[in-house]
Amino acid sequence: MMSVRRIILVGAVALTLALLAGGYVLAERHVAKWTAMSGQPINCIACHLRPQQSPSMHEAGYKTPVCLAVSADGRRLLATARDAHALVVVDLGSRTAAAAAPVGTELDGGVAWAARQGLQEVPVGEEPEGLALSPDGKTIYVANRWEDTVSIIDAATLKETDRLPVGDDPCGLCTDASGRALYVANCSSNDISIINLDRKTEIKRLAAGRQPYAMELGPDGETIWVTNRITDRIPQRTPPVTELTLIDTRSQTVRERRKLVNAHLVEGLAFAPEGDLALVTLVRPKNLLPATQVDHGWMITSGLGVVETRPGGRVLQVLLDDVGQYYPDPYGVVITPDGRYAFVSAAGADVVHVVDVQRLRGLLAHASDEELATLGNDLSLSEQYVVKRLPTRPNPKGLAVSPDGRYVFVAERLADSIAVIDTESLEIVEHIDLGGPPKETILRRGERIFNSGAQTLYGQHSCRSCHCDGHMDALTYDFEPDGLAREIVDNRTLRGIAGTAPVKWTGGNISTMKQCGPRFARWLTRLESFHFYDLIALTAFMDSQQLPPNRYRGKDGLTEAQLHGKQLFARSRDKEGRPIPLRNRCIGCHGGPLATDNRLADIGSGAATDAGRVFDTPSIKDVYDTAPYLHDGRAQTLEEIWTRSNPMDTHGVTNDMSKQDLNDLIEYLKTL
Amino acid sequence: MSTRRKALLAAAALLAIVLPVAFWLRGGPPAGSLVFVQVPAGAHSAEAKQPGSWPWLLPSDSRLVLLTPDAGKAHIKVLTKGFHAACDPSLSPDGSRLVFAGQRREGDEWQVWEMRAGGGRARRVLAFAGDCAGPIYVPENGDPSSPCYMPDQRVLFAGQARRGSAEPGAGHWQLFSCRRDGSDLTQLTYGMSPTYDPVMLPDGRVVFATWHWQHTSAVQSPVSALWHMQQDGTGADSLCPGPEGYLKRSPVAAQGRLFFVASDQANGAGSRLASIALNRPFTTYEVVSRDLEGEFQSAYPLGDGRLVVSDRPPQPGASFGLYEFDCAQGVLGRVIYDDPRFDEVDPAVVERRKPPHGHVTVIMPEATTGELYCLNVYESELTQVRALAPDGIQAVRVYEAAASRQGGKLLGEAPVEADGSFYLEVPANRPLQWELLDRNGEAAARSPVGVWVRPFEHRGCVGCHAPWQHAPNNFIPQAITRKPSAVGVKKKVEIVGFREKIMPMIEARCATAACHGPGGMGKPKFGAEPAQAPDGTTVNQAYANLVYTTDPVTGWPRWVYPGSARTSPLLMVMTKHARTDRVELGEEERQTLMKWIDGGAHWQLEGAQTPPAGRKPAGAYGGGG
């Protein structure tokens, strides 16, 4: 009996060991398949449990300050906190008193601690970002991006008094000089809402460029300047052209549409006190060049637009980058009241540039027309006007200057703090902690990696430089491995990417981990690839990117046109009654909850410069927000997909459709 | 076995395991220790070095020693007992190991060795067929399909492969890299001149020193310049050319600057300590040792704005010693170590440093070609090129560079588009030179040095000698919308032999009784009588006079630069400096003459693939050692 038992025991141990060994080999293969990396730790929990269990930023208690403003009396600092869904109010006056008191008492956490720090949180809508004060300083306006509303807050009581609906994805906002009309930039619907504040109703919408973002009342007191983030609709493979929209507040009409050529992601805006100049932050992409190298600013350069405010004024683009060291993702800009310095945050480099405004003025004044076109490529020019670069905590974003010009505040977005810069010593004198959690969750780590240029050669760009807000930049790119000027690809949004693999237009990568791992390092960042656990965090963050709420799905169900479009989407016979094969019906590939079948398809869109004929079927959820379309961005509008790029009915049977049918189909597609 | 005995045995076994491990872990020297090389005094002085006796960087009877902090002179430890000579120590980023070049026995080849920083047994990293020098640790980035960054798992070194290898530049010092176990040996540089003293920058680039001809200098000899490239040999480019500091070597990076030893003499005499800002390499050359007399040999950063320098004071009979050096003030600080019997050189501090970035290679070793494209040739600092804008440049001509200053094998020609762009497919791992041709086919500019493209590298340039600070414009260059022009890749360039085509032409047009024929007044003489070439083959007098005559002053060919018709004096004389009695050549004849020279100025077609002997001008650098 003993021997049998022993045999069983030995057998069981041997079997377990064999299973473990076999399992290890299988696990190694599994990791190699999904990440294209070998020799990595086999840690099931790190990939399959931890990211999924990581709480959302809001649940984890992060604050994520983005935009800042200082009250007219200089006593209050206001910050929109994206993940706290709140307006954070820092009482600068009481902080001064607290700072004078002896320090060393232990933190008792929570409210008491916040009070001692002079902090107060005013709940607003989801994802607050834009922030403005009324001219009399009595009202605070906050744009709630994912709620499509503006919160109106009484500055005296710090209570939200009203929440008004506006357009899609409101970002920047400001009032006219009288304070009676509020202008709101709707980043997704590409227009500007004008709200009559007496009646608290939207009275007008003006067309902007694409993704209108920041907004300020100009120095003349009657023009509102609006920056737009991405390029106008341009012919395929031509330089990006981004609009500065100028609105006349008297007539409430667009006065001028000034164009910035070869620039985009214009997010910050400030005026010199003299009134002659506006400074805007901008990015100069090199998307038309083959991405064969990073050196010499070959991929992306970042800088400022120096804009004459007079009608039809000239625009000078200059870089804030330097040779061999780049400062990606410029975001905010403020100018001190004396007009001496501009402070510009470089969110991807964790730096605030101090810029001599007078030098910029001189450059613009003396630049010939030829120089206006070429100075924007000079990487050594910044030494002429960048006085100092101040290192900050991760991801410096919005800036505000105190009314007396003594301090500049910088929202350190991914550190949950606000840096205070002394404008005399040009040093950071304090970091105001907004009370975020001390522990870094996986998603937060991923977000920090996503927004940092540290993993690119010379720090030239971050993931965010092309995927602003996890979205896309409406540009097409020419990556190296396929040969020059071949296999042009449209930049795709990362919103809602989870579950839509394969990724990449050719479907070459079965997961985001494979996409962002070695391949990304080899062809894009040109440094060593992400550390394995950093890659897990980064892809977990990407997969957590949600689609914003769909604005075309009405509360009362589909409209008549949308219903008709839905029938066309699912139809199995054309107008002649001929059957349509399943794979050539809209619903055949773009059906299902993610609006993709996760397969490759030949829709006849392969160009002579493409190596293959089949492309990944993209998810078409929120498709209204992702122009241009098709793998190489050749279709500027949804309609062009069928009217120009589907002559043989290879991308669904659409040539029998009338203009009205196509309109209805598009109306339905927008609801997906 | 009794329990007690078992326990004793177990304890003994434990000790047997623990003690060696503990001994092994006891390991490294304390942080701040200094490793350096000692050479018998005088061996390193400039007088002992002759320009032709390259390389003088491998001193015999040298040894590696370790100086622990505050240990005083008496407590230095010789690390390379059992070596005939050793030099060039370089530490791993974690400060635990070091690689060096060493010679076990006298007369052995110098090889790359590795040992623990505190000393111990040395391990030969690889068996290299030739001498090695200047090894450094570089990151291993793994297989391209599955990169895994390990900051110190490769060794990059300068090696002088024995002559006879098929690789270009064999016989010269080139840079190589291999894994720490000696596998995956790869040649990285393919220039036609000695390349040495590699060092890693924190951003992952490799900076090295190399000889090249000083294009503009009146001095008719090569200069040593600093170059940079990626870890896989891609993107090689000049970082700090002349004319300041005729010789530059021993670079080290610290605080955004590159420090190096510079001298106006080829043998390094009177060397000073110079530096450039890495973000303004061409405009920030500065001699940081200022008015300090003496001679500098090498430096190592201390991380606080100071360097350890190897310096020889100006007093007669003084030896090299190690000193602190304050870069801001430009003054020597305290003596760290100086033994009058020895020259102390090549210091390295034992410390943990942030490892440099890696670089995932884009090279595909199986590829035989690479691609090279230029966005706009007119974006140039060369006035003669800018003056030809907007459409004066018609073509780019590509040569495989030759060891000499002139010549080289013509690989082919490609059009330059109206927007100034061109796009070439070129053989990989070959030193290439370019020539921009104007509408008349005349060379407007020629690149002075050979630059290589690695297999499957796609290399883009903003312009030809574009200002170094210019980022490219965002546009689609016309050239890349077409397939690249394959030069030297598929079809061979037509080669004209002197005997077959040129001599008949000369006899008919030039060698007349009145001019270059026998009894004529013209020089050179174009006789048909046999003559001896330097390599012993038989040519005729006309060929010998045209190809082998050298200028007594410069030592360069007097008439013909094989491989470069447009810069050959012969063509200049015939087409530019018109003389009244000049015989006018027809366009066809002129083209034939140019093809002959561009093709290598061969005597005859038979065996024309090998360059004619004697093409290397006298007085060229004695590269190759």
pLDDT tens, position by position, B511-530: 777 788 777 777 788 888 88
Contact indicator for A143, A173 with CB cutoff of 8 Å: yes
The structure tokens listed for A532 are 């394995």
Element (H, E) at A7: helix A2-35
The answer to whether the beta carbons of residues B63 and B88 sit under 8 Å apart is no
- Predicted confidence (pLDDT) at residue B565 exceeds the cutoff of 80: no
Partners of residue B280 in chain A, C-beta under 8 Å:
323, 380
* Strand arrangement, sheet containing A351-356: A330-335, A341-346, A351-356, A386-391
Q: Which residue bears the tokens 């199986």? A: B366
Span B247-258, pLDDT tens digits: 788 888 888 899
- Choose between B623 and A544: higher pLDDT: A544
**Selection from A584, A599, A566, A576 nearest residue A648 by Cα:** A584
Partner-chain contact A529 B469, CB within 8 Å: no
Alpha-carbon span B498 to B149, nearest angstrom: 56
Cβ pair A296:B472 closer than 8 A:
yes
Asked which of A21-30, A91-100, A363-372 is least confident by mean pLDDT, the reply is A91-100
The percent of residues above 70 in pLDDT, for chain B, comes to: 82
Give the pLDDT score at A647.
92
Crossing angle of helices A442-450/A532-543, nearest 10°?
90
Cβ separation B362–A523 shorter than 8 A: yes
Residue B623 has pLDDT above 50, yes or no: no
**Structure confidence at residue B221 (pLDDT):** 57
pLDDT at B618: 28
Could you tell me what percentage of chain B is helix, strand and coil, using 3-state DSSP and rounding each to the nearest 5?
Answer: 15, 35, 55
pLDDT computed for residue A78 by the predictor:
96
pLDDT recorded at residue B142: 64
Residue A467 has pLDDT above 50, yes or no: yes
Q: Which of A409, A431, A385, A147 is nearest to A279 (CA)?
A: A385
Please check the confidence at residue B219 and state whether its pLDDT lies above 60.
Answer: no
pLDDT at A328: 97
- Contact of B470 with chain A, judged by CB distance below 8 Å, is answered with yes
- Dihedral sign computed on CA atoms, order B144, B148, B153, B157: positive
Element (H, E) at A490: strand A488-490
3-state helix, strand, coil in chain A (%, to 5): 25, 30, 45
Rounded Cα–Cα distance for residues A443 and A430 (Å): 27
Cβ contact B233:B175 at 8 Å: yes
Q: What percent of chain A clears pLDDT 70, i.e. is strictly above it? A: 96
H-helix or E-strand containing B400? strand B393-400
User: Looking at this predicted complex, what is its ipTM?
Assistant: 0.91
pLDDT value of position A168 = 93
Over range A326-330, report the average pLDDT. 97
Instruction: Count other Cβ atoms within 10 Å, centred on residue B211.
Output: 24
Question: Can you read off the two tokens belonging to residue A638?
Answer: 């949804």
Nearest alpha-carbon partner for B289 in B315, B313, B316, B317: B313
Counting one residue from chain A and one from chain B, the pairs whose CB atoms sit within 8 A come to: 134
A-contacting residues in B 220-279 (Cβ below 8 Å)? 235, 278-279
Q: How many CB atoms lie within 10 A of CB B6?
A: 10
DSSP A439-478: SPPHHHHHHHHHT--TTSGGG---GGGTSGGGS--S-EEE
pLDDT, tens digit (0-9, with 9 covering 90-100), for A148-201: 999 999 999 999 999 999 999 999 999 999 999 999 999 999 999 999 999 999
Could you write out the DSSP letters of every residue in A154-209? ETTTTEEEEEEE-SSSEEEEEE-TTSSEEEEEETTTTEEEEEETTTTEEEEEEE-S
Residue A375's pLDDT is what? 94
- Tens-digit pLDDT profile for residues A199-241: 999 999 999 999 999 999 999 999 999 999 999 999 999 999 9
Residues in chain A, total: 672
State the pLDDT at residue A551. Answer: 86
**Cα–Cα distance for residue pair A542/A503, rounded to 1 Å:** 12
The answer, yes or no, to whether residue B17 has pLDDT greater than 50, is yes
The one-letter amino acid code at A295 reads D
Higher pLDDT among residues A337 and B165, named by residue: A337
Q: Which of A388, A394, A270 is nearest to A337 (CA)?
A: A270
Q: Which residue of B has its CA nearest to A380?
A: B469
- Quickly tell me which residue has 């630069």 as its tokens: B561
Across residues B266-288, what is the average pLDDT? 85
Rounded Cα distance, A100 and A672, in Å: 57
- Other C-beta atoms closer than 10 Å to the C-beta of B28 total 18
Which residues of chain A from 4 to 63 reach within 8 Å of chain B, CB to CB?
32, 36-40
Q: Point out the residue among B142, B144, B481 whose CB comes nearest to the CB of A485.
A: B481
Distance, in Å, from the CA atom of B485 to the CA atom of B611, rounded to the nearest integer, reads: 25
pLDDT value of residue B20: 63
For A378, which of B146, B373, B470 is closest by C-beta distance?
B470
Give pLDDT, residue B144: 54
Predicted local distance difference test score (pLDDT) of residue B79: 93
Q: Which residues pair with A194 in a beta bridge?
A: A183, A204
Is there a contact between B168 and B149 (Cβ–Cβ < 8 Å)?
Answer: no
Q: Please tell me which of the candidates B361, B472, B480 has its beta carbon nearest to residue A484.
A: B480
Q: Could you tell me if A433 and A417 are in contact, meaning their C-beta atoms sit under 8 angstroms apart?
A: yes
Q: Is the peptide bond before A628 cis (omega within 30 degrees of 0)?
A: yes
Helix (H/G/I), strand (E/B), else coil: B60: coil
CA distances from A603 to A262, A651, A652, B119, B471 (A): 32, 5, 8, 67, 38
Contact check, Cβ <8 Å, B146/A36: yes
Q: Give the pLDDT band of residue B494 (cuts 50, 70, 90).
A: low
CA nearest A546: which of A610, A469, A436, A599?
A469
Which of B469, B474, B481 is the closest to A284 by Cβ?
B474
By Cβ distance, the residue of B361, B375, B471 closest to A297 is B471
Buried b (16+ CB within 10 A) or exposed e, B352-378: ebebbbbbbbbbeeeeebbbbbbbbbb
What gap in Å lies between CA A292 and CA B372, rounded to an integer? 10
Pick from B147, B371, B472: CB nearest A377: B472
**pLDDT of A137-149, one tens digit each?**
999 999 999 999 9
Question: Tokens 């008491």 correspond to what residue?
Answer: A112
A296 touching chain B per CB within 8 A: yes
Beta strands in B17-84 (DSSP E): 34-40, 63-67, 77-78
Q: Tell me how far apart the terminal alpha carbons of chain B are, to the nearest angstrom.
A: 70
CA distances from B508 to B227, B513, B516, B531, B592 (A): 50, 11, 11, 20, 14
Is the Cβ–Cβ distance between A299 and A523 less than 8 Å? no
* A298/B279 touch (CB, cutoff 8 Å), yes or no: no
Closest chain B residue to the Cα of A524, Cα to Cα: B360
Residue B517 to residue B503: CA distance in whole angstroms: 12
Q: Which residue has the higher pLDDT, A437 or B191?
A: A437
∠ CA(B6), CA(B11), CA(B15), 5° rounding?
A: 150
Q: Which SS3 state, helix, strand or coil, does residue A624 take?
A: helix
Neighbours of B258 (CB within 10 A): 23
A chain contacts of residue B472, beta-carbon cutoff 8 Å? 286, 289, 296-298, 377
Four-point Cα dihedral B494, B496, B500, B505, nearest 10: 120
What mean pLDDT comes out for the span A382-404? 96
A323 to chain B, minimum CA–CA distance in Å?
5
Q: Three-state SS for B503? A: helix
3-state secondary structure B115-159: EECCCCCCEECCCCCEEEEEEEEEEECCECCECCCEEEEEEEEEE
Q: What is the DSSP letter of B354?
A: P
Contact A536, A51 (CB under 8 A): yes
Strands A476-479 and A290-291: parallel
pLDDT at A213 (0 to 100):
97
C-alpha A571/C-alpha A587 separation (Å) is 8
Which residue from A298, A321, A379 is facing B460, i.e. has the nearest CB?
A298
> In chain B, positions 351-370, which contact chain A (CB-CB < 8 Å)?
357-362
DSSP structure string for A215-253: EEE-TTSSEEEEEEEEPPS--TTS--EEEEEEEETTTTE
As beta bridge partners, residue A302 has A283
Whole-number pLDDT of residue A282: 97
pLDDT at A121: 93
Asked if the model's pLDDT at residue A553 lies above 80, the reply is yes
Per the CB < 8 Å rule, is A37 touching B146? yes
Give contacts of A285 with chain B, Cβ < 8 Å: 474
Helix axes A659-669, A560-570, angle to 10 degrees: 90
Residue B55 pLDDT > 60, yes or no?
no
The Cα B203–Cα B359 span in angstroms is: 9
Q: Where does the pLDDT of residue B45 fall: very low under 50, low under 70, confident under 90, or very high at 90 and above?
A: low
Question: Which pLDDT belongs to residue B521?
Answer: 76
Closest Cα in chain A, distance from residue B611 (Å):
35
